[in-house]
Structure 1
Amino acid sequence: MMKLVIISDIHGNHDALRALPEEYDELWVLGDLVNYGPQPKEVVAEVMAKASLVVQGNHDNAVAYDDDSRWSARYRPIAEATRRFTSSVLSDAQKAYLRGLPLQAQAERDGLLFHLTHATPSDPLYGRCATEAEGWAAELDALPADVLLVGHTHVPFLRRIGDKVVLNPGSLGQPRTGVPLASYAVWQDGRFALKSYRYPVEATVEKLRGLALPGHVESELVSILETGSV
């Protein structure tokens, strides 16, 4: 049986990505490689080199098209500021890579059909579903897959709904679980596991402080990294 490592929402946090403690046969990435963190260029380069499957997240889309029009009021200040920074450091080839990422992907491994998207199948970039069975049941109803893999919320969960599974590995680079641990998921021997690990948060914070972002943006991003919560 092969081993898949599934990650999402890296958000420019190369320290967290480099510290991933798991060996794997394939690395799958559920979007949002960029923004919020201090090293988007390094994250995109590593994902391009190592990941087997990658789908586009809303932050990847915003950077690819220089589009700040869809940020929510709550996250607009940090999203706009870091989008501008990200756009200034990514190469044209890296932006083209983000632009070319699919919104959804499917893959079969060991007889199991996986469907990958960043948010929800009905709204791949910005959709949200409560973790209650009813909300996800509607998304799964017409989905020709055994497993739905999603990110976007930064909150890990694993649910079996009927004969299908919904899994969110949480956020590797911007966890919102109340603890500053990078989250990810593993599929091996037909089983899923949600996991987390420590990485050098203080190093990421130091790099973030070196970007000369507006004070209120920097302080909020530092707080999120240090506390694992918004």
Structure 2
Amino acid sequence: MKIVIVADIHGNHDALSALPEDYDELWVLGDLVNYGPQPREVVNRVMQTASLVIQGNHDYAVAHDDDSQWTAQYREMAAATRAYTSGVLAGGQKRYLRDLPRQAQATRDGHRFHLVHAMPSNPFYGHCAPDGEGWVTDMSTLSADILLVGHSHRPFIRKIGDRTLVNPGSIGQPRTGTPHASYAVWQDGGIQLKSFSYPVGITIARLQALPLDSTIKARLTGILGAGSV
């Protein structure tokens, strides 16, 4: 069995549709929407193709019209794009986001997976460095062999005892210092981080055409082009 794992699509349908990988199952670790220019297309594609999807903090914010927990660093940008996203999604798409689980478990080929957007102890807003002790504490509460997380947009794999912690990075808004989209592949009991290029210039042009303040558009396009905040 081959599972492709993606996270933090953030309305970037150009990156999602360019995924150069076939798979038996597609798993999505939350944040389908916000920041990107094509949230409607992303939600439709995920609804049609993904086998397992969990809710991220941006999905929750859009589904519930709730910007209350944004940090100061991202508040203005997140609130503006949340308003745009909410305006273009259909009612059924919002319900889909609202009904997504915050955490999920699955077993494939004898391997037990736990999926969460940020951390099991704080599913939406948990933060911990890849080598942080918080992961050890969180994994000790799980019965899973493999913990899959997103949220930080930074890909990594870490072994904690006989368990594995994986962040596939962001497919739609990477933080690797390049605009290349990141994802992970689990196959035959092993997991691998991968990345690929896509026509980011087209996505930037779509962002420039959005009805947003020019400073917000400049910041969003800068993040996409540089692969960093």
The one-letter code sitting in structure 2 at the alignment partner of 1:116 is L
Q: Is the 8 A contact 1:133 1:161 kept in 2?
A: no
The alignment of Structure 1 onto Structure 2 pairs a total of residues equal to: 229
Partner of 1:59: 58
Partner of 1:115: 114
RMSD: 0.6
Deviations 1:164-206 (CA, angstroms, capped at 9, x unpaired): 1000000000001100000000001111000000000000000
Q: Is the 8 A contact 1:34 1:43 kept in 2?
A: yes
What is the CA-CA distance between 1:216 and the residue it aligns to? 1.0
Matched residues in 1 for 2:157 and 2:2: separation? 17
What is the CA-CA distance between 1:135 and the residue it aligns to? 2.1
Matched residues in 2 for 1:174 and 1:60: separation? 15
Partner of 2:77: 78
Partner of 1:130: 129
Partner of 1:175: 174
User: Matched residue of 1:185: which SS?
Assistant: strand
Partner of 1:184: 183
Matched residues in 2 for 1:131 and 1:106: separation? 22
User: Matched residue of 2:46: which SS?
Assistant: helix
Matched residues in 1 for 2:121 and 2:134: separation? 12
Partner of 2:226: 227
Matched residues in 2 for 1:124 and 1:54: separation? 14
What is the CA-CA distance between 1:133 and the residue it aligns to? 4.8
Partner of 2:206: 207
Instruction: Provide runs of 4+ in structure 1 moved above 6 Å.
Output: none
Partner of 2:150: 151
Matched residues in 1 for 2:141 and 2:95: separation? 32
The one-letter code sitting in structure 2 at the alignment partner of 1:169 is P
Partner of 1:12: 11
Partner of 2:20: 21
TM-score where L is the length of structure 1? 0.99
The one-letter code sitting in structure 2 at the alignment partner of 1:107 is A
User: Matched residue of 1:123: which SS?
Assistant: coil
User: Matched residue of 2:85: which SS?
Assistant: helix
Matched residues in 1 for 2:223 and 2:205: separation? 14
Matched residues in 2 for 1:185 and 1:45: separation? 22
User: Matched residue of 2:219: which SS?
Assistant: helix
Matched residues in 2 for 1:59 and 1:133: separation? 24
User: Matched residue of 2:96: which SS?
Assistant: helix
Which sits farther off after the overlay, 65-74 or 132-141? 132-141
Partner of 1:95: 94
Matched residues in 1 for 2:192 and 2:143: separation? 23
Partner of 2:45: 46
Matched residues in 1 for 2:88 and 2:147: separation? 33
Q: Which runs of 5+ in 2 are unaligned?
A: none
What is the CA-CA distance between 1:215 and the residue it aligns to? 1.1
Which sits farther off after the overlay, 132-141 or 14-23? 132-141
User: Matched residue of 2:218: which SS?
Assistant: helix
Q: Is the 8 A contact 1:9 1:171 kept in 2?
A: yes
Matched residues in 2 for 1:212 and 1:118: separation? 29
The one-letter code sitting in structure 2 at the alignment partner of 1:221 is L
